[in-house]
Amino acid sequence: MTQTPVSIDPIAVPDSLDAPGAEDFLTVAELLNAQLREFWGNDDFYGPPQAQLAGRRSTETRRREILAARPGRGPGGPIVGVALVNLPLTDNLHTGTVNVVVAPSARSQGVGTQLYAAAEKLAAADNRRMLMAETDHLLSSDTAGPVTGTASTIPQDAAAAFATGLGFRLELVDRISRLELGSTAAGAAVLQQAGAAAGAGYELEFWSGACPEDLVEAYARLRQKMSTDAPMGGLDLAEEAWDEARVREAEGLARDMDAEVLVSAVRHVATGELAGHTVLEVFRNNPAVAYQDDTLVLESHRGNRLGMLLKAANLVRLREVVPQALRVYTWNAEENRHMLSINEQLGFRAIGYSGEWQKELSAR
């Protein structure tokens, strides 16, 4: 394959969308949205430029960089591809993540390969020795539905071939599932059954936006535990460091991105300990779509159907707080049979798979 020469330069995140130099950022935002629309066939994952502006800023816990490719070796010209690089700053300092997107008109010309090389160089210069990436793969409409067994591979499509060609190794397969929300009565029935199974020893706690002060330390411990309890396959990831400051940072980011965050937690009555939590996010620009985030039950409290209790409670609450919500997306490791079983009982159906890839960088 003959490579089309491109120049690759960083794109600064502007202070605002009408600030000088914001045009390049807006072009990148539209390129990312166009790729998502092309892949999903809808705008369920559309990110308004203002939300992307908030989400691409570096913070105390994560450095975020944008690399843009333009035709030719000189300055100027249209942006035909982008690489997003994320570098943790408080834990997993040996790692980084990369996402490469190329405009349709510039594909199969080596633009993605050149963007990745620039991203790898950036990460290596920051002493990162492991890069991670993700690819999504949809099921066809005639195969969508309940999936049995365990998937150890993903379709060998263009995305997988690109990752393999760059030297990445597939380490984990997640199932992508979607729930079409039904009536509140149906969700309430599941919640009642799960509550009865859990018994009187546990009580539900709810909050939206900001965790109550008296629960934030316990909630931070749950978020930290989530980073190691979720299946990781062969990914070289260590426990994340969570405290009140990091919880508040995440909450602030959600507000800046105009997201409604609904948290259900369960408290062990006898000890007052938070035994588990689950999180749903809804972006106000598109309240029809919700995204299931973390769900965790501490090991010492498992076996009491708390996972079902938490998820069912938050789905009932979603219907009440965001009545416009029509569907929920979630990702779960194929090896996590317990959580997949809960999702299937709640009505989630598989629509695809996500590959988690990893590459060890050469010593420099």
Where a domain ends, among 174, 203, 235? Answer: 174
Same domain, 56 and 121: yes
Q: What is the DSSP string of 295-336?
A: EEE-GGGTTSSHHHHHHHHHHHHHHHH-TT--EEEEEEETT-
The rounded distance, in Å, linking the Cα atoms of 204 and 69 is 49
Kindly state whether residues 169 and 186 are assigned to the same domain: no
43-82 pLDDT, tens digit each: 999 999 999 999 999 999 999 999 999 998 766 789 999 9
Do 321 and 289 sit in the same domain of this protein? yes
* DSSP per-residue string spanning 193-215: HHHHHH-TTEEEEEEESS--GGG
In a domain, 345, yes or no: no
User: Same domain, yes or no, for 17 and 153?
Assistant: yes
Give CA–CA dist 28/11, Å, rounded.
Answer: 9
Residue 341 placed within a domain:
no
- How many structural domains compose the chain? 2
Q: How far is CA 192 from the centre of its chain?
A: 30
- Rounded alpha-carbon distances, angstroms, from residue 310 to 99, 184, 313, 329: 32, 16, 5, 16
pLDDT in tens, 138-150: 987 544 444 433 3
The CATH number of the domain holding residue 140 is: 3.40.630.30
pLDDT tens digits, 182-193? 866 667 788 888
Please say which residue of 134, 150, 174 terminates a domain: 174
Backbone angles phi, psi at 203, to 5 degrees: -130, 145
145 in the same domain as 22: yes
Residue 308 lies inside a defined structural domain of this protein: yes
Domain hosting residue 278, numbered range:
182-325
Specify the DSSP class assigned to residue 350.
E
Please state whether the predicted TM-score (pTM) of the whole model is above 0.85.
yes
77 and 132 assigned to the same domain: yes
Written as six digits, the tokens of 24 are 């390049």
For 304-332, the pLDDT digits (tens) are 999 999 999 999 999 999 999 999 999 99
Does 302 share its domain with 186? yes
CA angle 116, 122, 127 (to 5 degrees): 125
Tokens 């914001």, residue?
Answer: 22
Same structural domain, 24 and 74: yes
Taking residues 293-310, report their average pLDDT.
94
Q: Are residues 58 and 127 in the same domain?
A: yes
User: Rounded to whole angstroms, how far apart are CA atoms 280 and 330?
Assistant: 10
Residue 360 lies in a domain: no
